Structure 1
Amino acid sequence: KFDLVNFENSVIELAKIQKNLVIVLNNPCHNPTGYTMSTSEVKGVMEILRAACSLCNIILINDIAYMDFNNKVNNFRDFYQDLPSNLLVIITFSMSKSFCCYGLRVGAQIAISSSTETINSFLDASLYTCRSVWSNIPKGGMTLFSNIVLDKKKYKQLLLEQSYMKNMLKERTDIFLDEAASVNLKTLPYKSGFFITIPFDNISDEKMADKLKDENIFTIIIPGAIRLAVCSIPKYKIYGLAKTLKNIITTNC
Structure 2
Amino acid sequence: MKQPHCAGLWLCLFLCVLAGCSTMNDAPTTRGEVQGTSASGNEMGQSDLNRVATLGMRDNLHSLYLLMDKLYRRNPAEWKKTAASREESIRRVRDAIELRQSWPALQGQHDIRAMSLALAPDFSGDRVAAFIYSSADMIITAHGGKTEFFLTDGIDAQHIYNAARNIEIAVWMLSNRRNANGGVLLLSDEIGANGRNLSFEREFGKIVGRLDLLAEFTTEKYRRAGINYVQNILGASFLQFLPVR
TM-score w.r.t. the length of structure 2 is 0.24
| TM-score, structure 1 as length reference | 0.24
Higher helix share: 2
